[in-house]
Amino acid sequence: MTKLTTKSLEGISSKMESIDKESIRYRILNSAKNFKTSWIDLGQSLYSVWKDKLYKEWGYMTFEAYTAKEIGIKKPTAMKLLKSYYFLEKEEPAYLRKDVTDTPSTAAAPGYESVNVLRLARDSKKLDGIDYAALKKDVFGMGKDAQDVRKALTGMMKQREELDPDEAREKKRLSTLRRSISTLKSLKRDLEISRMLPAAVIKDLSGLIARIESEIT
Residues found in the chain: 217
Q: How far apart are CA 71 and CA 109, in angstroms?
A: 22
pLDDT in tens, the chain (217 residues): 455 555 566 677 777 778 888 888 888 888 777 665 568 888 888 889 999 999 999 999 999 999 999 888 888 888 889 899 999 888 888 887 765 444 444 445 688 889 999 998 888 777 778 888 888 888 888 888 888 998 988 888 877 766 566 776 787 788 889 999 999 999 999 888 888 889 899 999 999 999 999 988 7
Q: How far apart are CA 8 and CA 185, in angstroms?
A: 51
Indicate the residue type of 107: A
The whole-model pTM stands at 0.57
Q: Is the separation of the CB atoms in 111 and 39 below 8 Å?
A: yes
CA angle 54, 35, 88 (to 5 degrees): 70
Q: Is the separation of the CB atoms in 81 and 43 below 8 Å?
A: yes
Q: Is the separation of the CB atoms in 46 and 31 below 8 Å?
A: no
